Structure 1
Amino acid sequence: MKKTILLGIFLAAFISCKEGNKQEEAKAESAALAPVSDAMMENSVIYEANIRNYSPEGTFNAFTKDIPELKKLGVKVIWLMPIYPISMKNRKTTDGRMVEDIKDPAERAKYLGSYYAISDYTAINPDLGTLQDFQNLVNTAHNNGMYVILDWVANHTGWDHKWITEHPEYYHKNAKGEVTDPLNPETGESWGWTDVAHLDYTSKALYEPMKNEMLYWVKEQNVDGFRCDVADNVPTEFWQFAVPKLNEVKPVFMLMESNKPYLFNGIFDMGYGWEAHHLMNDIAQGKKNVSDWDALMEKQAKEYKKEDIWMNFTSNHDENSWNGTEYERMGDAAELFAALTYTMPGMPLIYTGQEYDFNRRLKFFEKDEITHSKGKMFKVYEKLGELKNSNEALNGGKQPADYNRITTSMDKNILAFAREKDGEKVVFVGNLTKEPQSFTLPVEGNFTNYVTGEKVQLAPGQEQKFGPWEYWVLTK
């Protein structure tokens, strides 16, 4: 009997040691990727991965198989939408009902909840796979030269989170002492995010535990940073406390869902290019023109530092689900503005499905996968990604290439600019209207339209004719 017990103990220890060795080997293997640096931010493309809706399976493993495809698009940063367990309490349906009120079990099971109603910050949503599956995704990304950042929701938790009962002092409360959903600080009214409970940083008691939850993913799971949800709704002092602690483990890449200038200062590397995005929509809809674009570029140059990085996008998960696809908002101009996100200063974003010409709003609270049929845009993103990765004239990080506006004879309708750095030069020319345009521009020389491969010979005073939303990305 003693021999049997001893043998069992030995086997358990052996298996445990073997599993531990596997994890250490996996960490060592993925550690071969150089740490996050200013240099990698200059020429990166970022991909927002909606794991639930990326594939029929909706799993880490199904996504991981396609990481080599993302590499073809020049992707260097993978932003994973929240991968954590989702609260059942106060879970919402697509039409705004509460799942708890649905009697039919089959109907109730259809609603998977908001990714942003998190019940445990350091666990994996079992619908997506296991921790080992997640580790395989990170290792595969690292082995393909890509960094992985997690979506971090520091402003609120789901109603099932253990802190609500164990640490109610971490939450905002109403006059009755009840935990509330997030409220508008100016009006005291609910934002409508009733499926989440609002965290309160006033006493700073939450600083240490929230920082530790973030540290787990950097220290134990080797992730490379975070995209921080509604970052400006969380006190700046918390980010100033937490981010240096993360960087002590290894350099991390920090993206904020905000465009507030004060959050850039040594805290976040990149912010949302909301103003440029909304302006693109307005130009595509004929509400604004190139003069408005010029005004925005001048405004940003005055209000932000040169090293502040913008994430440029024509879509993301919020835009797709709530405001429509890029084709709904931009119509035939969608490709031109995609090209603009690569050639303007900053880092371009591809949201799940954009590379496959996916043209439908994804349901936010349900399983609703994309299709994977390569059409026009995969090749466009592939070409643009190749240029972004390789040509210093498109550097968009903390030491960006110069942005020099080129005046044309139709300046309200035609946008032309040159990006230049260390002897490299890329010229963008685009008709930002739905009408054909004839114009001249003061550029001469022999170029290649990088996206199409066509040769372009330019001379000053030479008339150019562009169709609606036609554009060039010219290289020497």
Structure 2
Amino acid sequence: MRKIILSLCVVLLACSSHKEKKETATVMNKSSDKVIIYQLMTRLFGNKATVNKQYGTIEENGVGKFEDINNVALKAIRDLGATHIWCTGVIEHAVLTDYTKYGIPLDDADVVKGRAGSPYAIKDYYDVDPDLAVDVPHRMEEFEALVSRTHEAGLKVIIDFVPNHVARAYKSDAKPEGVRDLGEQDDTSQAFSPGNNFYYLPGQSFRVPSGYNPLGDYTFPTKDGKFEETPAKVTGNDQFTASPGINEWFETVKLNYGVDILGGRKSYFDPVPDTWIKMRDILIFWAKKSVDGFRCDMAEMVPVEFWGWVIPQVREVNANIIFIAEIYNPDQYRNYIEAGRFDYLYDKVLLYDTLRLLINGQLGTKDIGEIQKRLSGINSNMLHFLENHDEQRIASKFFAGSPWKALPGMVISATIDKGPVMIYFGQEVGEPAYGAEGFQGDDGRTTIFDYWGVAEHQKWMNNGRFDGEMLSEEQKQLRQFYGRLLNIAATNTSITRGEYIDITEFNQRQSNFNEKVHAFLRYYQSEKVLIVTSFNDQEQNVKVEIPHEAAIEIGIEAQARHAVKDILGNEGKLEIENLILNLPVKPYASHIFQIQ
């Protein structure tokens, strides 16, 4: 397998030329009709430390700062093809680092996961993580400066909004004057009340999960196996117990949006629940910081009626702000677009899961066409990806074991729809997420719970130069591939505005290629592209035939010859003759043919 992958690298390297690089630079200067997201874990992105000690402190393992996402880094991300950066972990969450000298109380180790804590256990919706600031008292100003320079670099900023749950020790010390804290006015004698911000278990006290040992063998002033909470609150993942398990979201508590989840899920939305108003005000607070979008964590665990009520109000502050829903139930997709007013939804359960199985040889390419049919009418609302902070790295032993094997899946993700595509920092250089960082362990994901240095990404970062000089030649070629692909996806009008025609099923019925090859057309006015990808581990000669009905639709003559140019960078002159393209396909190869 390694021999096959290396041969592919040689082929791709051979496609790099001075002319090609010049063309890429020209493409990069164009604006995009398609959202291309570069997600980065803010505390990890700029970290230069390489100690990587399990459960290491911030002093030992280091941490990235807002200022590390500097003009050079932003230009490099923009040149890669991105239009937006998603800065993950901005809002203040529970951490096990001592900031008491700045008036920030210690968090309780027994309800914090990892040394740096989960960025989804929010402790103050009106503040930013002090880890990310060089000058902690001025941390908000440092975030605002990041937003400003990101905009100056031609990029937009997305941050997380975590609406479903908060840290157990939530308490805002930065809330604007006159704002009441979550839970401050709750009637804690009631398990559920429409006016409460939380759900309660009256008469019960919270108990730390049995066997939980925060920080392993290390100590911390608040580590004692106890956390005082009476009455106990319901956990973020709807566990109605005072003693949740270690694999539950025990460090968080569920917010109450007026749904009696303890009594048949009856809704009480009139009058508007207090939680709705508080969360609206939080969203507007951040919208006024000039952020350009919100990735809404576990959006489907919050009633769709809330989203339909709140999103238009936030858009009164910024009409162009985008909302992305993390959602895993395809049966609810249309509801969260139509009633919830979301712009984009995670397409994890359908396209991501299918591509992952396909990359690992467990599915065939015809399944992709079935997904496109199922999502007809909302395809452009789907956010595609192969990596994010929740998923295992492509290059890890838990996924593909090689970044090259996944490239055909990445090409499909980036080009199949008008909607957005996303990559996760380090993906473009083959980061494998080696090591047991702390709470998360060695599971093929880059930690979201501990301080850490992301080794392969750090080679591209090159001590803050962001020039990739420490990368291997193979990694440089991989990053160039991503840059070429994302810039095509961002600027080619067939992809950003055009329609989609699947021709995979037709060709497989004709026995033109096997179940590991995929082909489709995208077209817009006179522009048209044919995209062919192969998940085969051997070179094959395939025949790609355009059905007559498709030829008529995209406007090409059946009896004519049509030259094609592979704009993804593969060399060679080819023609479509009598609607047939005969194509030698390398292992895990991808082609984007501009039809002349």
CA 186–307 in structure 1, closer or farther in 2 if over 3 Å, else same: farther
Query: Which position in structure 2 is the counterpart of 1:197?
Result: 253
Runs of at least 4 residues off by over 6 Å:
185-191
Q: Structure 1 residues 52-61 or 225-234, which shifts more?
A: 52-61
Instruction: Name which of 568, 575, 585 aligns with 1:451.
Output: 568
Match of 1:135 among 120, 141, 144: 144
Change (3 A) 1:167 1:48: farther
Aligned mate of 2:69, from 63, 73, 84: 63
The correspondence for 1:224, drawn from 292, 296, 309, is 292
C-alpha displacement of 1:334: 1.4
**Contact residue 117 and residue 195 of structure 1 kept, 8 A:** yes
Name 1:366's counterpart in structure 2.
450
Deviations 1:240-295 (A, max 9, x none): 11111101111211111015220011611001111100000111111100121222
Residue 467 of structure 1 pairs with residue 586 of structure 2:
yes
Corresponding residue of 2:38: 47
Are the equivalent residues in 1 in contact too, given 2:113–2:449 (CA < 8 A)?
no
Q: Shift in Å at residue 442 of structure 1?
A: 2.4
Could you tell me how far 1:101 is from its partner in structure 2? 5.5
User: Residues 327, 384 of structure 1: CA spacing in aligned structure 2 closer, same or farther, 3 A cutoff?
Assistant: farther
SS at match of 2:481: helix
SS in 2 for 1:123: strand
Structure 2 residue aligned with 1:313: 385
Matches within 5 A, 1:32-431: 42-56=33-47, 57-65=63-71, 66-88=73-95, 100=109, 111-129=115-133, 130-162=139-171, 163=181, 166-168=184-186, 169-174=196-201, 176=203, 177-184=231-238, 192-202=248-258, 204-219=273-288, 221-251=289-319, 252-258=321-327, 259=330, 260-265=333-338, 267-274=341-348, 275-301=350-376, 305-306=377-378, 308-320=380-392, 325=395, 328-330=398-400, 331=402, 332-345=404-417, 346-360=419-433, 361-370=445-454, 371-373=458-460, 374=468, 375-395=476-496, 400-406=497-503, 407-408=506-507, 409-431=512-534
CA contact (8 A) 1:434 1:469 kept: yes
Equivalent AA in structure 1 for residue 335 of structure 2: Y
Bigger helix share: 1
- How many residue pairs match? The answer is 415
Unaligned runs of 5+ in 2: 1-30, 48-62, 97-106, 134-138, 172-180, 187-195, 204-230, 259-267, 434-444, 461-467, 469-475, 547-560
How high is the sequence identity, in percent, across the aligned residues?
22
In structure 2, what is the Cα distance between the partners aligned to 1:446 and 1:185?
60
Distance 1:439 1:284, change over 3 A: same
Which residue does the alignment assign to 1:22? none
Of 75-84 and 108-117, deviating more is: 108-117
Is the contact between residue 238 and residue 254 of structure 2 (CA under 8 Å) also seen in structure 1? no
State how far apart, in whole Å, the 2-side matches of 1:377 and 1:386 are. Answer: 14
Q: TM-score, normalised by structure 1?
A: 0.80
Equivalent residues of 1:170, 1:205 under 8 A apart: yes
Corresponding residue for residue 28 of structure 1: none
Deviations 1:390-439 (A, max 9, x none): 211111xxxx4111123431152321111111221121111123343332
C-alpha change, 1:293 and 1:120, in structure 2 (3 Å) is same
Between the aligned partners of 1:179 and 1:41, the Cα distance in structure 2 is 46
Distance 2:170 2:581 in 1: 65
- In the alignment, the residues of structure 2 paired with residue 198 and residue 181 of structure 1 have an alpha-carbon distance, to the nearest angstrom, of 5
TM-score, structure 2 normalization: 0.65
Partner SS for 2:69: helix
Measured on the aligned residues, the alpha-carbon RMSD in Å equals: 2.8
How much does 1:366 deviate? 0.5
Specify the SS of the correspondent of 2:533: strand
Distance 1:271 1:295, change over 3 A: same
Deviation at 1:328, TM superposition (A): 4.1
Rounded Cα–Cα distance in structure 1 between residues aligned with 2:368 and 2:199: 41
